[in-house]
Chain A
């Protein structure tokens, strides 16, 4: 049994970046991401990590520096939140279009206005279509583990895509959790130094970032789409290899007590653990309720999701962001996944916990109750903001 130690999740994330032998770190401070970069700068300042560290003048430049360094073949890392992500969003699209395997942690936080430093997924949703592989993790251990998983995956020559690890701000970033750290030798074996297919170097001059006329643009986008779609088997392969190394097997869609469940809660991120407590309580009361957790947001795991979802009668999708004028973005994806089936579960959608408002196990129970009544009454695709004072 590996020894478990207590650590703040942000510190563990920074330790993972160190253990992943990252070459260049570039970031700009924003709450709640700050503890990660603070600890990384300490590691570099103390000579415990051999990397170039830049605290730059904006998030736009933070990712731009990573794009430059990654293009030379240096393993690069950045992290941000909310407004910072919005500012760097232009470059997120470019990084994936250039097929640069950068890894970024987003300590998820609400996008203004009104200004709020607290957690929800509105920042991640704002760059939903940026072409990165995107994970949502559930707890601190998963943050730590996914740093290695992400670099291994991103740098695979059949993938070559940047990866985002979404972790809930404060709820995860600022809490102390028990960690099983991985020995460095194992990590070095799992994640050898990055060997780029192409790099900017005078010995082999290449042009990167050329512009495309309409006659060729669509072909480049098709290539990108094929790359991310066909990354799915690689994702499964890397998750399996990581599981073989640590005993922690992760899947694109995680399930909890879903067998024979009539109603499934569907969550993404740290909601998962709280919702599982609610599921236990409901099961104790003899209710037929389970939990489906979406870990992989892009590429969206349609097949895995359908396998679980089609067995249920009701899905209660809890979104932590709102697409104003439409509802929850996760629910919209779930509905799209099920559209082709004549017999499919009802999908009731709650937007809950935005801007860090606490969502307790009792709230999940209330949402299940409410959804089951609504669906019973024929409201099969309802949507509401949960717990709003009116």
Chain B
């Protein structure tokens, strides 16, 4: 129900663009759509720290920029640390009266490689220190910028240039690292998953993250036609299928309490999601069944956590 309403509610989003058109992202890039929505959600009072990666490369070829808000790129693995420094700098300068007091969001942005692999330590440090900032991982499930190499966020079975489907190996042989769970394990106030195929949900989560004091982590699944070997016009559909099949459930962990953003009483078969992507082309029905089994189990576990959250709520009420 809410899902249907949200289709029309997109028109309620601001017309203002803080991430300008004319960037160099690939056709059908859902990651750049996610970034555009995040920028809309946060408005002008934000400072963005962007890790090295697709979004950095497509938006900042000197002397051009797509950014209408202050934007900073330093390196690959340290975005969370840079955003910590920005938050600290603003805080101390306001305290000492050297810049006027106002709310400015420190936003860190990185891909799955910059988050789940090389940036994990800096992220953990920043979450643990409790900086008031938002960290957004735009997850396209591999190192797309360098040519589709596997990351720890690449799903099981996916063929990438460094986990190719070969004669004796099926592609990625490890399961996707659960970054949202890792972030939640830091007991930070807010963790969420989102996808630009659900734009209102995404915008609401980013706005909530901005309002909450302390660290917030949002993990955004970002369909990548180039790396997923999918048709560019299917990007929005694929994002929806990821949620509808349970492959990428949309949920929040608000002060430790789990809540499903959209609950699907009956999940669609995982095959519907997989068959539209060339990176899974080599998988047999047996393998897909194995993947589906695991996805279902994880979805049930998540539902249990959400049910517990709801019970706690009603007990308190």
Given contacts A72-B89, A206-B70, A209-B72, contact A60 B81 (CB under 8 A): yes
Chain A contacts to B: CB under 8 angstroms: 23-24, 26, 50-52, 54, 56-58, 60-61, 64-74, 76, 90-91, 94, 98, 193, 200-202, 205-213, 216, 220
- Is B74's CB under 8 angstroms from A193's CB? no
What is the 8 Å Cβ interface bit string for chain B, positions 60-85, against chain A (1 contact, 0 not)? 11111101111111110110111111
Complex Cα spacing A70 to B71, Å: 14
- Is A211's CB under 8 angstroms from B88's CB? no
Complex Cα spacing A97 to B117, Å: 26
Asked if B230 is an interface residue, CB under 8 A from chain A, the answer is: no
- Is B63's CB under 8 angstroms from A68's CB? no
Residue of B nearest to A212 (CB): B62
What is the 8 Å Cβ interface bit string for chain B, positions 119-145, against chain A (1 contact, 0 not)? 001101110110000000000000000
Which one, A23, A61, A72, A213, contacts B81 given CB within 8 A?
A61
Complex Cα spacing A71 to B50, Å: 14
Asked if B9 is an interface residue, CB under 8 A from chain A, the answer is: no
- Is B81's CB under 8 angstroms from A200's CB? no
Which one, B45, B60, B69, B78, contacts A64 given CB within 8 A?
B78
Complex Cα spacing A208 to B70, Å: 8
Asked if B49 is an interface residue, CB under 8 A from chain A, the answer is: yes
Residue of B nearest to A193 (CB): B98
Complex Cα spacing A98 to B78, Å: 15
Asked if B16 is an interface residue, CB under 8 A from chain A, the answer is: no
Which one, A51, A98, A202, contacts B70 given CB within 8 A?
A202
Residue of A nearest to B85 (CB): A68
- Is A66's CB under 8 angstroms from B122's CB? no
- Is A94's CB under 8 angstroms from B74's CB? yes
- Is B125's CB under 8 angstroms from A57's CB? yes
Residues of chain A within 8 A (CB-CB) of B65 are 207, 210
Which one, B45, B82, B99, contacts A65 given CB within 8 A?
B82
Residues of chain A within 8 A (CB-CB) of B212 are none
Asked if B92 is an interface residue, CB under 8 A from chain A, the answer is: yes
Residues of chain B within 8 A (CB-CB) of A220 are 62
- Is B81's CB under 8 angstroms from A56's CB? yes
- Is A76's CB under 8 angstroms from B95's CB? no
Residues of chain B within 8 A (CB-CB) of A68 are 49, 72, 74, 81-89
Residues of chain B within 8 A (CB-CB) of A50 are 92, 95-96
Taking the closest CB of chain B, its distance from the CB of A109, in whole angstroms, is: 23
Complex Cα spacing A193 to B62, Å: 31
- Is B47's CB under 8 angstroms from A54's CB? no
Given contacts A207-B71, A213-B62, contact A64 B122 (CB under 8 A): yes
A-B contact pairs, 21 of them (CB 8 A): A24-B89, A52-B92, A56-B129, A57-B128, A60-B77, A64-B85, A64-B122, A68-B88, A69-B89, A70-B89, A71-B72, A73-B98, A73-B99, A74-B93, A76-B89, A94-B75, A201-B104, A202-B70, A205-B68, A210-B63, A212-B61
